[in-house]
Structure 1
Amino acid sequence: MIGMNILLVDDEEHVIDGLREMIDWEALHIDRVFTAADGEEAWQLYCSHRPDVVLTDVAMPQMNGLELSARIRREDPHVPIVILSGYDDFEYAREAVHLSVSRYILKPAVFTEIQEMLAEVIGDLEAVRKQKQYADEFSRQMKHSIPLLREQLLFDLVVTGGAVVTAEQLRFHQLEDELMTGGLVVTIGLYRTDDARFASERDWQLFKFSVANIVSETIAAADDIPGGCFLLRYVEDRLPLLVISMNAGEAVLRARRLAEAVLESVTRHLGIELNVAIGGWFGKAGQYRASYVQCCDMLRSLDFEGYHRIVSADEENDYAASMAYDPLKAIRLLSGTFRQGGWGETAEMWREMRGALLRESVPLGVAQIAAISLMSGLTLELAEEERENANRFLPIVQDIYKHRSKEAVVQLVEDQLNALLEQFRQRESQQRPSHDCVRKLIEQIESRFAEPLSFSELARQLHMTRNHLSYLFKRETGTSFIAYLTSYRIERAKELLNANRYMIYEIAEKVGYSDAAYFSRVFKNATGVCPLEYTHSQRQ
Structure 2
Amino acid sequence: MYNLLILDDEPAVVNSLAHNIDWEEQGIAHVFKATSAVQALELMREYRTDLVISDIRMPGMDGLDFTEAIRSLSPHTKVIIISGLDEFRLAQRAILLNVFRYMTKPVPYMELVQAVQEALTALESELEQHQLLENAGLAMDSARPILQERFLQQWIVRGGGKTAKGPTSLDPCGLEIREDDPCLLLLVRVDEWPREDTDPYQRLKLQKLVGEILFHGTPCIMFNDFERQLVVLVQQNSEAKLQAAKRYMEGMAELLLSTAKRSLGCTLSLFWSGRFFAAGTVHEEYIRLKERARFTLAWESGIIQGAAPEAGGWDEEEQSLFGYPGFEQWVERLDKTQALYHLRHWFDGDGGMKPARTYDMLLLLYNTVSASLIKASLKRKVPLQEWAKEETSIFYAMQIPATVSRLRAWALRVTELYMDYMLERSQHATSRLLAQAKQLINSGLLEDFTVQDIAMKLHVHPNYLSRLFTRETGITLTEYTVMLRMEKAKALLASPGWKVFQVAEEVGYVSVSHFNRTFKRHTGMNPKEYQTSLAVPEQ
Calculate the TM-score normalised by the size of structure 1: 0.32
Work out which of the two has the higher radius of gyration on C-alpha atoms and give 1 or 2.
Answer: 1
